[in-house]
């Protein structure tokens, strides 16, 4: 049997209004392979690795080198799904030239097919346009943008009043015009996410943004139940592997201490 065709940017864009897009965040070869084998369409190496992998309280401490390291690792486990790597804080906010240079490094050093950056202001759209112009596909990100967590006053639903909703719609149209091939909508009221999805011709991928987006994204350790203290309303746990992992390690501890492991079966 021949291998399934690898996902491309064109394939993802063609899903607009059709079959739902499935994306997960993963940070290494092992979990990328699991997600890829399970049939996801895209794998995001998110700067949320600051929280999930490094135990930080925000995404602001992640460096470009760290994103490249994890992007390269995930690439080794990703055969079919589209690989997208987050551009971390301060790698694109200062100037379009910074954005171009750093996006180029990510693409060259990880083998990813796209980068993702946050925000939809005029300056951010200019950076997106410049990066796209040099041949790097860009995924946008609107709503709650974690790199702006302090300015936004924490992880809060965005676009709840008319003015904020109108601004978010304008940002989405601006990103589309700049050449973004898809837009993540995070912590956005479901009705507003549906309006954005209808207003743009590129796919929207929701996280805490209701069911009418063109796709959904969750962090893989979160949906597997490995991040036990994290329980936002939008998260559905599809397994409780954190509990299973603790039980397994406890059994290993007990069997080692009572000398029932290793047995003859596990010895040479």
Distance of CA 169 to the CA centre of its chain: 21
Angle at 9 between CA 105 and CA 47, to 5 degrees: 45
Two tokens, residue 190: 């479901």
Active site residues: 186
Q: What Cα–Cα distance (Å) separates residue 246 from each residue in 182, 243, 250, 266? A: 38, 5, 6, 22
Two tokens, residue 185: 């909508």
**Ordered alpha helix ranges (H), the chain:** 9-14, 29-38, 49-52, 64-77, 96-110, 122-133, 162-178, 190-199, 220-223, 241-257
DSSP codes, 61-122? G--HHHHHHHHHHHHHH-SSSEEEEEPPTTSSSS-HHHHHHHHHHHHHHH--SEEE----SH
């Amino acid at each position: 049997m021949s291998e399934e065709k690898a996902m491309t940017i064109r394939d993802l864009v063609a899903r607009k209004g059709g079959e739902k897009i499935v994306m997960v965040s993963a940070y290494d070869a092992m979990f990328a392979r699991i997600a890829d084998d399970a049939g996801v369409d895209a794998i995001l190496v998110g700067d949320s690795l600051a929280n999930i992998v490094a135990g930080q309280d925000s995404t602001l401490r992640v460096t470009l080198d760290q994103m490249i390291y994890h992007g390269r690792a995930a690439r080794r486990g990703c055969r079919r799904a589209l690989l997208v790597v987050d551009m971390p804080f301060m790698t694109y906010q200062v100037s379009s030239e910074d954005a171009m240079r750093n996006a180029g490094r990510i693409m060259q050093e990880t083998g990813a097919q796209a980068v993702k950056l946050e925000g939809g202001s005029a300056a951010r759209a200019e950076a997106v346009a410049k990066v796209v112009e040099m041949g790097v596909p860009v995924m946008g990100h609107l709503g709650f943008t974690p790199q702006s967590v302090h300015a936004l006053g924490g992880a809060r639903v965005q676009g709840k009043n008319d003015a904020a909703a109108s601004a978010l719609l304008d940002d989405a149209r601006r990103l589309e015009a700049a050449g973004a091939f898809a837009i993540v909508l995070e912590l956005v009221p479901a009705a507003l996410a549906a309006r954005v999805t209808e207003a743009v011709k590129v796919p929207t991928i929701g996280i805490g943004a209701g069911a009418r987006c063109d796709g959904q994204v969750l962090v893989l350790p979160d949906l597997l139940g490995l991040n036990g203290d994290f329980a936002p309303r939008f998260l559905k746990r599809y397994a409780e592997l954190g509990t299973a992992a603790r039980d397994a390690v406890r059994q290993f501890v007990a069997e080692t201490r009572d000398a029932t492991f290793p047995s003859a079966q596990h010895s040479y």
